[in-house]
Every structure is written in structure tokens, then in C-alpha cells.
Chain A
Amino acid sequence: MDDPAVALVISAQGGSKEAFGTLVELHWARLVRLARSVVGELDAEDVAQESLVVAWRKLHELNVPARFPSWLSRIVFRRCLRRARQAGRLVPLETVREPAHDGDPIDRLVVWQLLGRLAPRQRAVLHLTVVEGMTDGEIAGALGITAGSVRAHRKRARNRIATLLTGGAA
């Protein structure tokens, strides 16, 4: 994290809402993207906003301001887990459509329905790997798990997606 961003975090820790507002703007899009992959499009922005309010209250717990981005991601991810548990949301297998056989790209609905067949942690790991292009170490920091767990979740996620897409057993 660069120095101006660190200065913003320190200022926000000192109580500056203006500084925190700037941090919200800087991180908003990536937090929503992460939340979208875990809880879906409908709830993603609500979860992201709730998480930012929680982050404001807990800013004093952040001992290393440079780690603000990964610390914030962990808060968002934990809120996503809570929302996913409350919703008890799993997409029934029968609603997963067969992908078109004429080479058309997999559409958005199928993407979310397939993600919905994965555990939340697998969704998050796949998202951070594929969409955000993060390394295993960065993903581990963002989700509060080990790099070994990242690799395990990613492998399971890819195997499951492949099984679902090729019509194997669920």
C-alpha cells in the first residue's frame, strides 16, 4: 500500500470521516466484486456497505495501516459468510442449465448458478484467483487462511465446476 493511502488510513484511525470516505471510494469496486462472487449480485452491495461500517468501528484494531486492503477484505468475506449462512442459499441442482452446445459463451446466470454450487470459501478463492489475479499469499491474507488452504479450495472448486459442466455426478 503506498504512502498516501497509508496516510489516509492513519487519518481515518484518528477519526477523520473524510479520509475514510476516500478509502471507501478507493476500495468500493473490488469489495463489491468479492461480495458478488460469494453472496450474489443482489446482496453484494448491501454486504459491502455493512462491512465498511464495521471496518470504521474496528479501525483501532488495525495495527499495521499498510495492511488495510487485506484487513478490509477479511471483514467483507466474514460478512459474506454470515449472510450466506443466514440465507441458507444453495442453488438447486435442477436449475443449473446445460451450457449451449453450439459454442456460445457460458452466460451470466450459469456462472452464478455454478458458483452457487461451491462452498463460500471456494467461491472467494476462485474469484480472487481468476478475477483479481491475486497470488496464493495475497489470497491467504485477504481471507485469513493459509496458502495451502487456498490451493486446496481452488483445486476442489475447479474439480466441482468441471464435474457440473461435463454432466458428472454432483
Chain B
Amino acid sequence: MSSNHGGDVSTRFEDALRGWGGGPPRIDAGTAARRVLARLPERTRPLSWWRMAAAAGAVALLFIGAWYGARSPSPPHVAASRLTVPPLPDNVMVFWLDSETPVYFVLSPLGSEKGDAS
């Protein structure tokens, strides 16, 4: 077989391939699009890594803040002490030296005796 003969039949084959391979689909594009769309799931966009890292960091901060807040010493006695102070008369003032030590000052009008009970 001569190479020319091989070349001729190859050329004829590629011409035939062009005709067969270039033909239109049986289903038109519009119908194909409708069929494909009917099969599509709702696509959820996957979270990017940096969004996930930011979310994890925010959650970690919340936990740390809550844990730290739970561990902080609360002065219940201060609150209780302040809450247990009865309503004071108008001439009585209270100063807190510290969280547990109130000092009462009784304001006496001029002319009262020294040493009156406070």
C-alpha cells in the first residue's frame, strides 16, 4: 500500500468525521437546559476556610469570656451588705471604707451634745 493511498483514505475519513462529528444534537439546547435545570440540587456555597476560622475564633472568645466571668471573684457580701443597709434617716450618711466596712455619720444640728450615740 502506498502512503498516498493511506493519506487519501485518512483524508476521506477525516472529512467524514467532520460531517458526522459536527452534526447537531438530537435534543435542542433549550430542552436540554430545562432538563438539566430540573435535575439541579439547591447549591449551598461551601464556607471558605477563613470564614470558618473567624467563626471558630469568635466562639472560642465567647467561651473564654464566659469561663473567665464565671471564675472572677464576685463580692456577694458587698452586694448583700449594701442591700442590707436599711433606709437611712436624712441626717445619717454612710461611707464605705472598704467592701465590708460602712461608717455612719450622724449629722446633729448645732447645739446638740457631743458624744451622742451614732
Contacts and interface: CB of A to CB of B under 8 A. Distances in A.
B10 interface: yes
Contacts, number: 114
B29 A166 contact: no
Interface stretch (B30-38, B66-74, B78-86, B90-98): B30-38
A111 interface: yes
Nearest to A168: B1
B13 interface: yes
Contact of B12 (A57, A106, A127): A106
A165 B43 CA distance: 49
The B interface, classified by DSSP as helix, strand, loop or mixed, is helix
B56 to A, nearest CB: 21
Nearest to B22: A131
Interface in A60-119: 60, 99, 105-108, 110-112, 114-115
A111 B16 contact: yes
Interface in B22-74: 22-27, 29-30, 32-37, 39-41, 43, 45-46
A130 B59 CA distance: 58
Contacts of B26: 45
B21 interface: yes
Interface residues of B, number: 36
Interface string B1-14: 10001110110111
A110 B43 CA distance: 43
Given A59-B43, A162-B6, A165-B6, A106 B21 contact: no
Contacts of B7: 162
Contact of B21 (A20, A110, A130): A130
A72 to B, nearest CB: 12
Contact of A57 (B10, B23, B35, B41): B41
Interface stretch (A1-9, A48-56, A134-142, A145-153): A48-56
A111 B13 contact: yes
Contacts of A48: 25, 32
A71 B68 CA distance: 51
| Residue with the highest number of chain A CB atoms closer than 10 Å, among B5, B33, B37 | B33
Contact of B39 (A29, A49, A130, A165): A49
Nearest to A21: B33
B14 A24 contact: no
Given A20-B37, A167-B1, A15 B32 contact: no
Contact of B17 (A32, A52, A111): A111
Contacts of B46: 60
A105 B33 contact: no
Interface of B: 1, 5-7, 9-10, 12-27, 29-30, 32-37, 39-41, 43, 45-46
